[in-house]
Structure 1
Amino acid sequence: MVAADGLAIAVGRVLGKRLPERAVKIGASVAFFIFGALLIAEGVRG
């Protein structure tokens, strides 16, 4: 878990330097929506 978090932080730093801030915000919004929808669907199924 710690290694995965470290990798995610490193990738985030690299992408943060290379991508425009707007692209990062849109990507984060899409990811948040997708994971939220999946969790809601899982909860509805039981």
Structure 2
Amino acid sequence: MPPAADDNAPAHTARSTRTWKEDNSISALPWPAIENLWDELDRR
């Protein structure tokens, strides 16, 4: 299964969700959530 793209929403970061993803070998993409990008762009 391809990696998932999470947006740090509470449903994506809940312990039960993280456990389920680990149990089902679902990984997250290695880059940070889009909110971090918007913050970085605001600083420039």
**Fold shared per TM-score above 0.5:** no
Larger relative contact order (C-alpha < 8 A, sep ≥ 6)?
Answer: 2
The structure with the greater share of residues assigned to helix is 1
TM-score normalised over the length of structure 2: 0.45
Question: Which structure: larger Rg?
Answer: 1
